């Protein structure tokens, strides 16, 4: 393979060497956020929901397994391969089956969203747990406000999974999010479906709105205005059909790779470009990236586009405030782009990075510093002085899929290559990442 080689050791270690230009087209895996929500809201709804292009990944399989255990019927069941299309028969007004234990695996979205639904299902009892990474991710931000609504929920050491949920009749409240989080907002909206009275969430800045879009499509009584969303109980949900677009968070690695490897031109097909998710495009364009969008016909409520990205020299920028929630999952690979830019880049107001699959401030700064970057950690983000490139080295993914893929892109774009330990973590969101990368540089 010209200029590039991937060596695998038991699926866990991969070596990425400097490559030539990336050229070609690809369709990244389906959107993980929308896939999770299609499974959960489809399970809550009354009647069948037809789902196409659902993401086949460890996390989304955990969500399908969980909703099936709660009484939703998935047909055909995803066994070895995910069907291109399947139907979820929701439990409707009867509510979920009381299930002893729910294993979320590494799915943080499932751990944060599902309790919102279950906590309001009077009479049920559930215990939720996950892998070692999940058990280090705090859930007090959902437990504390759920208790304000009347929920019975117990967590470990006051903050962490595993957790126990005793279903109760909830009361709607107005809650101001102390930190912008689409997952926390979403669990409130799911809790509000069965609460007495309206439930209102006030956001400090806008976050991704896939839950609102899908609930509205299903017939929920939901009202939106800038910085505030209110849901009223009582409306029966019927979702009918969901087409899941390609995930811009997965596409982000190729947006950056093509922007920093000279001579590259990559076309990304049928990618979701919901305005609450396109922060990475806005930021890269501000840094000087050459990115074009061509709208494509797609799912109702979720805009889809063909994205073309070509190499261009980048310059540093400042990323903060309202921009952070619109690019929270892409900040690690944006930090990589900043290493190849000229000048200073500052990422601020991004404390949320500490509560991801790893502490992404510490891990990203450690990884990029190890590759030769001029970078320093800050309490709420990081500062990078770009020098137009990186050397290389070795990085442990810490079981974090986005760190694994960041290491791969750094390896092909840098001077000396990168060895990634724990590359198999990429399967959480992008099982075919290495094959797609190799095809573009083959």
CATH at 220: 3.65.10.10
Residue 108 backbone dihedrals phi, psi, to 5 degrees:
-65, -35
pLDDT digits (tens, 9 = 90+) for 402-430: 999 999 999 999 999 999 999 999 988 89
Does residue 166 sit within a domain? yes
Structure tokens at 28: 């990244």
Regarding whether 38 and 17 lie in a shared domain, the answer is: no
Determine the pLDDT at residue 369: 97
Do residue 196 and residue 328 come from a single domain?
Answer: no
Distance CA 208, CA 278 (A): 10
Whether 200 maps to a domain, the answer reads yes
Check residue 431 and give its pLDDT: 87
Same domain, yes or no: 44 and 121: yes
**Residues 23, 39: one domain?**
no
Residue 1 domain-assigned? no
Whether 214 maps to a domain, the answer reads yes
| Whether residues 312 and 355 fall in one domain | yes
Is residue 113 domain-shared with residue 69, that is, in the same domain?
yes
Do 22 and 94 share a domain, yes or no? no
- Average of per-residue pLDDT across 308-337: 96
Whether residues 164 and 294 fall in one domain? no
Catalytic residue of the set 329, 396, 400, 424:
329
**Type and span of the H or E element at 16:** strand 13-16
- In this prediction, residue 10 carries a pLDDT of 41
Asked if residue 3 is part of any domain, the answer here is no
Does the pLDDT at position 3 exceed 50? no
- From 219, 243, 267, the end of a domain falls on 243
Give yes or no: residues 298 and 208 share one domain: no
Q: For residue 23, is pLDDT > 90?
A: yes
Domain limit, last residue, from 243, 270, 286: 243
36 within a domain of the structure (yes/no): yes
pLDDT at 1 over 50: no
Q: Is 131 a catalytic residue?
A: no
Q: Are residues 338 and 388 in the same domain?
A: yes
Same domain flag for 14 and 122? no
Q: What is residue 299's predicted lDDT score, i.e. its pLDDT?
A: 60
* Domain span at 110: 32-243
Q: Nearest-CA neighbor of 392 among 422, 365, 363, 367?
A: 367
Tell me how far apart the alpha carbons of residues 291 and 308 are, in angstroms, rounded to a whole number: 6
348 alpha carbon, distance to own chain's centre: 20
DSSP state of 427: G
Cis before residue 330, ω within 30 degrees of 0? Answer: no
75 bridge partner residues: 87
Please give the model's pTM, rounded to 2 decimal places.
Answer: 0.84
| Residue 232 domain flag | yes
The pLDDT of residue 28 is above 60 = yes
Residue 72 burial by Cβ neighbours in a 10 Å radius (0-12, 13-18, 19+): buried
- Total number of domains in the chain: 2
Q: Does 128 lie in the same domain as 19?
A: no
Among the three residues 228, 243, 258, which one is the final residue of a domain in this structure? 243
Dist CA 48 CA 89 (whole Å):
4
- By C-alpha distance, which of 265, 266, 273 is closest to 297? 273
- End-to-end CA distance of the chain, in Å? 6
What would the two tokens of residue 200 be?
Answer: 């209102």
The answer to whether residue 41 sits within a structural domain is: yes
Provide CB contacts within 8 A for 144, sequence distance 6+: none
Question: Which residue, chain included where needed, has tokens 């109760």?
Answer: 168
Who's near 166: CB < 8 A, 6+ residues apart? 124, 125, 152, 153
Burial of 322 (0-12, 13-18, 19+ CB in 10 A): middle
Q: What is the pLDDT of residues 79-108, one digit of tens each?
A: 888 999 999 999 999 899 987 799 999 899
**80 Cβ neighbours under 8 A, 6+ residues apart:** none
């Amino acid at each position: 393979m010209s200029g590039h080689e991937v060596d695998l050791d038991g699926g866990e270690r991969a070596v990425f060497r400097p490559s030539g230009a990336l050229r070609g087209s690809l369709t990244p895996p389906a959107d993980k956020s929308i896939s999770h929500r299609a499974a959960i809201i489809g399970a809550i709804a009354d009647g069948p929901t037809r789902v196409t292009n659902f993401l086949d990944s460890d996390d989304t399989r955990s969500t399908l397994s969980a909703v099936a255990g709660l009484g939703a019927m998935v047909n055909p069941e995803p066994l070895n391969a995910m069907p291109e299309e399947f139907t979820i028969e929701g439990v409707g007004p009867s509510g979920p089956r009381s299930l002893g234990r729910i294993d979320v695996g590494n799915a943080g979205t499932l751990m944060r969203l599902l309790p919102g639904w279950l906590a309001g299902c009077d009479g049920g009892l559930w215990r939720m747990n996950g892998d070692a990474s999940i058990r280090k991710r705090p859930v007090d931000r959902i437990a504390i406000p759920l208790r304000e609504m009347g929920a019975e929920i117990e967590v470990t050491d006051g903050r962490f999974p595993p957790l126990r949920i005793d279903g109760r009749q909830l009361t709607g409240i107005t809650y101001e999010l102390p930190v912008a989080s689409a997952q926390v907002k979403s669990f409130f909206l799911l809790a509000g479906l069965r609460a007495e009275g309206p439930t209102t969430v006030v956001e400090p800045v806008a976050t991704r709105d896939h839950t609102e879009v899908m609930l509205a499509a299903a017939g929920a009584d939901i009202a939106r205005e800038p910085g505030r969303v209110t849901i009223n109980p009582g409306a029966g949900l019927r979702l009918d059909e969901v087409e899941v677009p390609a995930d811009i968070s997965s596409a982000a690695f190729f947006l950056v790779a093509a922007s920093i490897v000279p001579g590259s031109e990559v076309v990304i097909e049928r990618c979701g470009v919901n305005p609450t998710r396109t922060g990475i495009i806005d930021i890269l364009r501000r840094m000087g990236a050459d990115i074009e969008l061509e709208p494509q016909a797609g799912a109702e409520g979720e805009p889809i586009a063909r994205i073309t990205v070509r190499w261009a020299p980048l310059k540093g920028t400042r990323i903060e405030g309202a921009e952070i929630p619109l690019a929270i999952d892409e900040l690690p690979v944006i930090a990589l782009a900043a290493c190849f830019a000229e000048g200073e880049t500052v990422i601020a107001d991004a404390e949320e990075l500490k509560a991801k699959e790893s502490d992404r401030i510490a891990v990203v700064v450690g990884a990029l510093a190890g590759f030769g970057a001029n970078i320093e950690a800050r309490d709420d983000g990081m500062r990078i002085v770009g020098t137009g490139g990186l050397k290389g080295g070795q990085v442990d993914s810490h079981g974090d899929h986005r760190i694994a893929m960041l290491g791969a892109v750094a390896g092909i774009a840098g001077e000396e290559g990168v060895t990634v330990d724990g590359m198999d973590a990429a399967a959480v969101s992008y099982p075919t990442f290495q094959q797609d990368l190799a095809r573009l540089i083959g």
